[in-house]
Structure 1
Amino acid sequence: MNAALSSKTAPQPLGSGQSVSDRPVGLERPVDRKQLDTTHGVILYLEDITVSFDGFRAINKLNLAIDRGELRCIIGPNGAGKTTMMDVITGKTRLDTGTAFFGQTIDLTKLHEAQIAHAGIGRKFQKPTVFEELTVFENLELAMKMDKGIWTSLFFKLGGAQRDRIHEVLETIQLKEQAHRLAGLLSHGQKQWLEIGMLLMQEPQLLLLDEPAAGMTDEETARSGELFLSLAGKYTLVVVEHDMDFIKQISKKVTCLHEGSVLAEGTLAQVQNDERVIEVYLGR
């Protein structure tokens, strides 16, 4: 284990006196968020993760620890393993070897995608996916965390607290004035913010954001940076991005991946001045 994942900082997967068989989370039962201790310390812990596809090692003994409330930026050249890493975290791709924990007790390797989402991990892909024939308000209502059974859906009526929550998210993503506009009529940046709002309606604790600034105007990019900074602390954000100006706006800590492993980690200035990063990614 590298220094960043020393025993002083790495979460302990099992509580005192707890055996492997006592682990509370597995495929045989749904995830109980009450079991997720994220009140302090590390919320996401990856150790010695390895993933191979037809002999190609996309992830190679990857070690990564993300603190609760942190906004971490992930950079690296194409093929560095950034997308595969997020696929592992969300259960889309199964790892070959290694350990992946969410909080102190939730073993991500034992869960499928739906369970991981329910546990509190939300993911946004590069291309926004919203319901364009519905209004902004209706998109957020549809994304609300609730029982999605057929009978509940048929007889569901929006309550006062739920309306308040939607209005709170509208304020957060700065789309309150667009609440009754069809999502299909929004700008690219506004659709990105709406999709982030839809994730927030699911009450996540960790947000994985894949190139969220791609295709945005300079003004939209700056507003996105302000949004992410406002979310950090209340939520944990992992942002995969190539736009270095955007990263400069939002970053406190940056991790550069290369060939499936952590190449460098630190402040943006430290990473940008690392000769290895310059050679494989940034250039001179």
Structure 2
Amino acid sequence: MTNTLGVHSLLFTDAWTAASAKAAIDCAARVGFDAIEVLIFDPATIDVAMTRRLARDAGIAIALGMALGVDSDISSLDPAVARRGEATVRRCLDIAEEIGAPCVSGIAYAAFNRYSAPPSEAQKNQVRSALARLDGYAGGKGLKLGLEAVNRYESYLVNTLDEAGALIRSIGARNLFVHMDTFHMNIEETDIAGAIARNADLLGYAHVADNTRGTLGAGGFDFKAFFGALARAGYTGGVTVESFSNARLGPGLAGAIALWRCQWSDAEATAREALAFMRAELAAAAHAARPW
């Protein structure tokens, strides 16, 4: 079984209008990706029928990412905010069902936010309870929900693969998985290969980004070690490139992720280079992992 190779929609645009969505989807399909990931901040802003139609016409699959906001934070001790967060994840799962995506994955356990204090035990227990309910909801639809381990400056509670795996195991979830992201792993993991090996049974999706989040392979991240660890773990899940530039992102999102430099200007060229890079690294890792 081969990995599904995808590209994040934010490589092309941070808007999801009819025109920008068509341009992004058509370019992703033209370059040769299997899937394009669409990020959901607010489910109400996603035109599901349009997205499904454009992807069908282009012959490409849709992957769905998500990130909760501070007003829909499952870990919040404000009951209304926490309820809104759980409802948001449920709606994202509904959208996955409507759009034909197999899962939703991202910051589904807290907000995309820089917290000033760690979560309390009460908050951790609250998140476990919410995720247990969401695990059942996803399973009832035949879907999966991924927990993306992100760095300490973008959320809390799940910063490492081990934390994601421990959270999933603590509630005995059957429909949750660990979502890897090399940009965040580069910051938070002390032993990337070890973290992958320890959580191999729960790995379900991967964002591939260099340490600068710029052109894939042009930074300092050790991709050979990463892809080698995936091959040894028998990972066959999705692999999606994340490469961002303020040439394509507006000031709001660029500011949220501290993207101050223009990393590249040509989105299609960047996407083509990334796809070739991922194919080459996956092939080399698979060859090296063979027992002969």
The TM-score, its normalising length taken from structure 1, stands at 0.37
Which structure shows the bigger proportion of residues in strand conformation? 1
The higher radius of gyration belongs to 1
Which structure shows the bigger proportion of residues in helix conformation? 2
Quick one: higher RCO (CA 8 Å, sep 6+), 1 or 2? 1
